[in-house]
Amino acid sequence: MNRRTFINANLAMGGGMLLANNIGNAMSTPLPGAGGIFYTKGSPGRWSSKTASHLPQLSVITDNSGNKILNVVTPHTMNGYQHYIVKHVVLDADFKFAGENIFDPMTQKAESQFNINQYKGVVYVLSVCNLHDTWLNAMRV
């Protein structure tokens, strides 16, 4: 089983548990694979000192056209090809792919915007670091 299939399977198993809780409690409840395959605020595993700079920060803003935009920022220094955020991935409440933004390592900031005008519910966001693995955060929109 490759890593992507393994991550998707573990995320899917945790989906029911997450949806049963309100989103404020969901990320504090360990998911299968959290702290080992991927990391969360509540399960930072071996990277506990990296949480502040690797956990994606999520907010919803409204653009000039009135569209609801999911704004994702990973407060991580983009250090060229040595140490950088590779991409942000957005998953819907069923852990299905909803969008991604792949970064150029020479970018100054790991920030993405996703139009979620037609979406209501929980979104999960992955932030992938080339050295410190994948970090998961979620919010209800």
Please check whether residue 30 is in contact with residue 41, taking contact to mean a CB–CB distance below 8 angstroms.
Answer: no
Report domain extents, the chain: 3-140
Helix %, strand %, coil % for the chain, to 5?
25, 40, 40
Question: Could you count the other beta carbons within 10 Å of the beta carbon of residue 15?
Answer: 17
Position 4 scores a pLDDT of 55
Q: Which residue has the tokens 């920060």?
A: 57
Q: 9-22 pLDDT, tens per residue?
A: 444 444 433 333 33
pLDDT of residue 35: 83
Q: Which fold has domain 3-140?
A: Immunoglobulin-like (2.60.40)
Model confidence at 141, in pLDDT bands (50, 70, 90)? very high
Beta bridge partner(s), residue 125: 90, 137
Task: For residue 94, list its beta bridge partners.
Answer: none
Q: What is the dihedral of CA 45, 51, 53, 58, to 10 degrees?
A: 120
Burial class (CB in 10 A: 0-12, 13-18, 19+), 53: middle
CB-count exposure of residue 25 (10 Å: 0-12, 13-18, 19+):
exposed
Question: For 13-61, what is each residue's pLDDT tens digit?
Answer: 444 333 333 344 445 555 677 888 899 999 999 999 999 999 999 999 9
How far apart CA 137 and CA 129 sit, in angstroms, is: 14
Rounded Cα–Cα distance for residues 141 and 137 (Å): 13
The whole-number pLDDT of residue 125 equals 98
